[in-house]
Structure 1
Amino acid sequence: MLTQGKAGEIFERIKKFSTAERVEVLFSGGKFALTRFANNTIHQNVAEENYTISVRTAFDGRTARATTNKFDDESLRRVVTASESLAKVQHRDPDLLPMPDAGEAAASAAKKTRQIPSRYFAGTAAITPELRADGVEKIVGIARKHNLTTAGIFSSSESVEGIFNSHNLSDWYTQTAADISVTMLAADSSGWQKANSPDVANLNPSNLAEIAAKKALDSAHPRQIPAGKYTVILEPAAVLDVVGFMFWDFGGMAILDQRSFLTDRIGTKLFGENINIWDDVAHPLQSGAPFDGEGMRRQTLPLVENGAVKRVVYARSTAERIRRSECKDKVGPIEATGHGFPLPNEMGEMPLNIVFAPPQNPQTVEQMIASTERGVLVTRLWYIREVEPYEKILTGMTRDGTFFVEDGRIEGGIRNFRFNESLIHMLSNVEAMSTPVRSSGEESFDMVAPAMKVGEFNFTEVTKF
């Protein structure tokens, strides 16, 4: 693995090759391995170890970046020359700030930040192809026991992220991760489960396989019910994949560009009283580096409190720009919060460590089902697209386990639906929530999210499967 010490040596060599006023280098990469299976057999096993360095140089308000994965002197000279050549032909950016120094980064660390738990686990780093194959063997055994066909992946990784700049700022982060995704297929139905964690000990391949198999079996011979508005019970993966579409709007650049659905709405009650959302990189169920693309420490921030949007997040330059804008009095607190993407970029920033606060009276999915007179239980959603940005109307489809609920019981599988639903409407009609858990989906990034029981969810069309 690339170490912080070795990265520091590479940075010193890069500085010697550069003629720029300021230099910043991002390090990323690590070891990644994946075992893929389909039709009840392993058909692919791959492994890679790769590290990249991304060099940003700056001259008098001009900046650009170039990247390489070769660390010999000649390759480093070439990447520095490429970055400098690109920077010199850019238009001058009046909003480009000097790179932060160690003092500014330290000051950001003192604001609303908490100690980050270790997310490097030796057991995860030591996963071998044989251990992944053992996990797949358990999954396949469960599929065969139920006369099902299974497909999915079991992956593991050991990764690093680091930043160094010519203002004496440096930071480094290491993490492990393991990921299992299981799909179970029957003749006319399917089931799915997915989980990941920095600690492989938190993953149970057999448990995931049994849940996916039960969904496939219980949804067999799906019947068709009419489209319309239903009480819907969304499992955490379904919640994650749909709400993930709104967090791009929780950034200062989106407000400045007037492409955020929060424009002129910050400080207003937009969702139900029971919706409380934080961005918290230090949460024990979260993961990821505690610093942003410029080396500023990520702050722990309340985004939504009792349904009211409290604030958005900012990169350094976005905070400066919005202080000079016409909307400065309508956006809540303005400060660099440690959420910026590496420069240069057009997106600015966004919160990436979303945590839903636990509800006052959490319910299990089983309790939500028991209290539902007529509704739909959804395992997950996919093929989600935005239809209307200001009311945040999304369209997408259910899949891999959609069930009809009547008189407090699951009454079998149903054909999948297409939905058209506003996130504002959805999060204003949450009737119950479970205790939030670390959740993984396919359409959005991982977050700590609950299952939700939502009233009047709008299904617009029935599929043929």
Structure 2
Amino acid sequence: MRARQEVLRILETTLSLASEGVDEAEVALAGGELGVTRFVDNQIQPAAERSTETISVRLRAKGQIVRASTTDMSTSGIKQMVTQTRATLGRLPEAKIPAPSFPSPQSYVEIEAYDPEIEMMRSLERAAIVGRAIVEAHKAHLSASGVMMVRRGSIGFEGTLVPYALANTRGLLAYHPETRAAFRVRMLSKRGVTGFAEAESCLAEALSIERLVSIARDRATVAGNPRVLAPGDYEAVLEPAAVAALLRPLASTCGASSYHAGSSFLSGRLGELIVGPEITLVDDFANPLHRGCPFDVEGVAKQPVTIIEAGVARSPVRSWSSSLVFDSSMPTGHQVRDGEFGDYEGAQHLVLRGGDQTLADLIANVKDGVLVTRLSEVQIVDAPTLRVFGMTRGVLEVKGGEVVGPAKDLAFEIGVLDLLKRVEGLTNEVWADGSVVPAMRVRGFRLAASS
């Protein structure tokens, strides 16, 4: 991750080259360093280190936009990319419907997301953290697997690259230095009972490794052999990671483009009660548990957006282009770039407002049901109704307000909106699986069949 002055020099030089012979130009820097230490069955795997940086340009002329990128950061490499991109643009015809102009200068909220301790954390420090988990697993006669990851810059833990610095010929300039660390641990007993815990933060001290290891260990040592539950509707306590997994399909379908296309759960329903009044959902990059980048991939300043308020559908999220094309509303900085799905509008920093109950309170009110740690393989069946299916992970059986033993993982199929009408209790919100969410107690969580 480059320092601000060096970044400004690169952006200025490249923008000067890219702006020749076009109406508008944009330059972006993306990437950074990623360090990964995995452990499998109480064995530390060889550490992996990755350092990747790209510089990209977007050029606009004749109503057309062409984008290109390169990992060759030399002057000659950048010149070659710009020349080829300009030539490609020159061969295109005049657009019948011109592409929107690039964003104008923005005002950004300053987000402190840099930690020198994470910046200095290398393979030796990561191995020491992993070793603590393995030692505790050995003591409890468990098998521990998981990962400790550290990133510096805008390279994602999955290897995705998004801009950390951006400038265009309209005067926009954005820069966001960031570090982040993540720890995930799964412990497995000889009886097949699992325990899982994870955390991610831009502050090393916020990970609380001992607490995470303790959570995973305690869950994996719950007494009894996993029992097969009958398919049906269950009263369920969903832990934060499970709640976050259910909200992920919502995050990808709450954009203005989807809304106007009729494929969003918000389409035609703004101002209507779509879930229970306990539910208020916002997308807020500045939440202290998120501390996200204050601009999107086009450099547009991110704004907090209330998607659902007290159960009522309020607003989709908007990119720069959709705000110009559809209704002239202010853009909210929600253009997302995905290596698999391309560019789309989406919420990346969901916050579901919680309540004042504890996890123990939620469990104590379950007469006959389940406690679900997390969900996996969640797929959308129908976007407008947010009907999804997937698999449970780490299920415990609850009777008379107490956990009585582990259960086998089950398939599930539910309507997320319908489920959010049946919320009986919420804890305070925490970070889990990319969102800030509470645990919740719900009625009618449908378990379909054992795995």
TM-score, reference length from structure 2: 0.92
Check the 8 A contact 1:376/1:402 in 2, yes or no.
yes
Q: Deviations over 1:189-220 (max 9, x none)?
A: 22211111100111122321221122122165
Aligned to 1:254: 258
In structure 1, which of residues 119, 123, 139 is the aligned counterpart of residue 117 of structure 2?
123
Alignment partner, residue 161 of structure 2: none
Normalising by structure 1, report the TM-score: 0.90
- Paired position in structure 1 for 2:9: 9
Within-5 A mapping of 1:8-47: 8-18=8-18, 19=20, 20-47=22-49
In the aligned structure 2, how far is the partner of 1:198 from the partner of 1:58? 36
Match for residue 335 of structure 2?
340
SS of corresponding position for 1:242: helix
Contact 2:29-2:55 within 8 A present in 1 as well: yes
Q: Which amino acid aligns with 1:415?
A: K
**Residue 202 of structure 1 aligns to which amino acid in structure 2?**
A
Report the counterpart of residue 350 of structure 2 in structure 1. 354
Over residues 127-156 of structure 1, what are the superposed CA-to-partner deviations in whole Å (9 max), with x where a residue is unaligned? 122211111111001110011111111111
Are positions 1:229 and 2:233 aligned together?
yes
Q: Which residue of 1 aligns with 2:358?
A: 364
Task: Determine whether 1:198 maps to 2:202.
Answer: yes
In structure 2, the residue matched to 1:457 is 445
- Counterpart of 2:137? 143
Contact 1:38 1:151 in 2 (8 A): yes
Name the counterpart of 1:171. Answer: 174
Letter in 2 for 1:355: V
Q: CA deviation at 1:273?
A: 0.4
Distance change in 2, residues 1:343/1:195 (3 Å): closer
Measure the CA separation in 2 of the matches of 1:430 and 1:88. 57
Counting aligned pairs with the same residue, the percent is 27
Q: Structure 2 unaligned runs (5+)?
A: 155-163
Q: Which residue of 1 aligns with 2:385?
A: 391
- CA drift of 1:340 comes to 2.1
Superposition pairs for residues 176-187 of structure 1, below 5 Å? 176-187=179-190
Map of 1:30-429 to 2, 5 A cutoff? Answer: 30-90=32-92, 92=95, 94=97, 96-102=99-105, 105-106=106-107, 109=108, 115-160=109-154, 161-187=164-190, 188-218=192-222, 220-323=224-327, 334-341=329-336, 347-359=343-355, 362-399=356-393, 401-429=394-422
Q: Is this contact kept in 1: 2:182–2:200, CA < 8 A?
A: yes
Whole-angstrom distance in 2 between the partners of 1:244 and 1:223: 29
Relative to structure 1, is the Cα distance of residues 425 and 460 closer, same or farther in structure 2, using a 3 angstrom cutoff? same
How far is the alpha carbon of 1:261 from its aligned partner? Answer: 2.1
Aligned residues: 437
The answer on whether the counterparts of 1:62 and 1:93 sit within 8 Å (CA) in structure 2 is no
Unaligned runs of 5+ in 1: 110-114, 325-333, 441-445
- Check conservation: 1:234, 1:378, Cα contact below 8 A: yes
Deviates more, 1:413-422 or 1:6-15: 6-15
In structure 1, distance between residues paired with 2:66 and 2:408: 51
* 2:414–2:446 contact (8 Å) kept in structure 1: yes
SS at match of 1:218: coil
| Structure 2 Cα separation of the partners of residues 168 and 363 of structure 1 | 49
Structure 1 contact 294–342 (Cα < 8 Å) conserved: no
2:427 aligned with 1:434 = yes
344-353 or 404-413: bigger deviation: 344-353
Q: Secondary structure at the match of 2:237?
A: strand
Contact in 2 for aligned 1:10/1:71 (Cα 8 Å): no
Residue 384 of structure 1 deviates from its aligned partner by 1.1
Partner of 1:329: none
